[in-house]
Amino acid sequence: MKTTKWYLSSWLIALCFAFSIFIVPAIIGLVLLIMQTIETKKIKKSWEESGMADVYAAEQKKENLEKQTATVEKELNDLQEVIKGLKRERVELEDDILLQSFGFYNPKYDLESSEAYKLKLEDIRAKQKAMVKAQEATNHSNEWTLDGSKQKGKVMNNNNIKLTINAFNQECDTAISKVTFKNVEAMEKRIKKAAENLNKVNKQNKITIRDTYIALKLDELYLAYEYAEKKEEEKEEQRQIKEQMREEEKVRREIEAMKAKIEKEEAHFRQEILALEARKAEATDAERLQLEEKLAELESKLALVEKDKENVMDREQNTRAGYVYVISNIGSFGEDVYKIGMTRRLEPFDRMKELGSASVPFLFDVHAMIFAEDAPKLENALHKAFHHRRMNKVNERKEFFRVSLTEIEKEVKTHHNKVVEFTKLAEAQEYRESLRMFEVEQTQKEAAASMQPA
């Protein structure tokens, strides 16, 4: 490989031109520059003829490829880190959803009524609007200029702030609208992640969403969720109150009907007795003996009617008297699941027929019907005794318990009523007959299939 002659070096030529105020050095520098150009072309030609240019190009290509490979590997590593992060977030999200699906949610506010939640929500939203209006929802710089104009820079900055807040609010609104019992904490993470991403995007714009504004959005999330839950709870309470009112109205009508029936029977027996007393005065000795027997029978019946009347009057006055029942429905709920409830009906089995109506596929079996002067007290005592056996841990108005009938009987007879009778066998007639019919149908299908030609 040829080397450049020393007198054609760039530093010597530059030195000659440096003294160009003198004519001779300038001419020498110009001549040397022309000679350097000619020499450079010769060297390049010689380089190409020797094949070194191809080697150099290959080396450059290899070097560029190595740089590109390193860049791709770095991008791949960065992408893998992002994927790992997303996987961790997914696992955390799934764990949160799993925990919440098992009921691990503790109310953050636990206010008394939906109206209290509504007022709190309005207050939180008013604070958010005030922060946005006062440009306090973000941390941002006010020193921007655009095309040398501070006014244009201010307009640009305000637009960026508005876009950031609008994007964050939309993400929060979506999360709040989708929040449920199973994902409330996952929605909290979604809101925090939205703020984090927007802050990253706006790093060059020097705009970040303030923690106080994010906190207000999280408050709104949990308030909105608990507000909806409280409204549902109040609806359920209203439904229970209406159900209780309907039940009390049925009891009232039942008592009125029973009173009317008893009073009619009482009037009938009294008239019969009066009529017989009148006949007795004019009757012969033989007839009088028969009339006295008839009078004794009527007076006995009248005494029973008066006793029934007294009981009905007592039930009318004592609004807490009633029956606590223990019932099961194997076809609907399986073995060892019992409903322990209460009714004030004079005919409690009418209530059992209602419970076994269209709401469940089979009728209930009655295992015990316990009369109590204070039925609500007895019902509450049994509910407390088997609280740890409740099937629905959230809604205590659901009166189903996974417990054996032997345990219920022992609790009742030990602490409340020693003589009450329990029916151990669950007849479950419709359920057992349905099973039998299903087995017959299956047998017929299998027989029909076996008779088909191969």
- DSSP secondary structure, 297-346, as one string: HHHHHHHHHHHHHHHHHHHHH-TT-EEEEEEE-HHHH-TTEEEEEEE--S
Q: How confident is the model at residue 72 (pLDDT cuts 50, 70, 90)?
A: low
The share of the chain scoring above pLDDT 90, in percent, equals 26
pLDDT in tens, 184-231: 888 999 999 999 999 998 888 899 999 999 999 999 999 988 888 888
Q: Which residues contact 356 (CB under 8 A, 6 or more apart)?
A: 329, 362, 363, 364
43-47, 170-174, 417-421 — most confident range = 170-174
The answer on pLDDT for 268 being more than 70 is yes
Q: What local confidence, expressed as pLDDT, does residue 103 receive?
A: 44
Calculate mean pLDDT across residues 429-439.
Answer: 86
Mean pLDDT of the chain: 81
Specify whether the CB–CB gap between 368 and 422 falls below 8 A. Answer: yes
pTM of the shown model: 0.48
Where in the chain are the domains? 6-50, 112-233, 249-317, 322-438
pLDDT in tens, 282-324: 877 778 888 888 889 888 988 998 888 888 887 777 778 889 9
Q: For the beta carbon of residue 258, count every other beta carbon within 10 angstroms.
A: 18
pLDDT in tens, 363-379: 899 999 999 888 889 99
Q: What local confidence, expressed as pLDDT, does residue 279 receive?
A: 84
Q: Which helix (H) or strand (E) holds 285?
A: helix 285-317
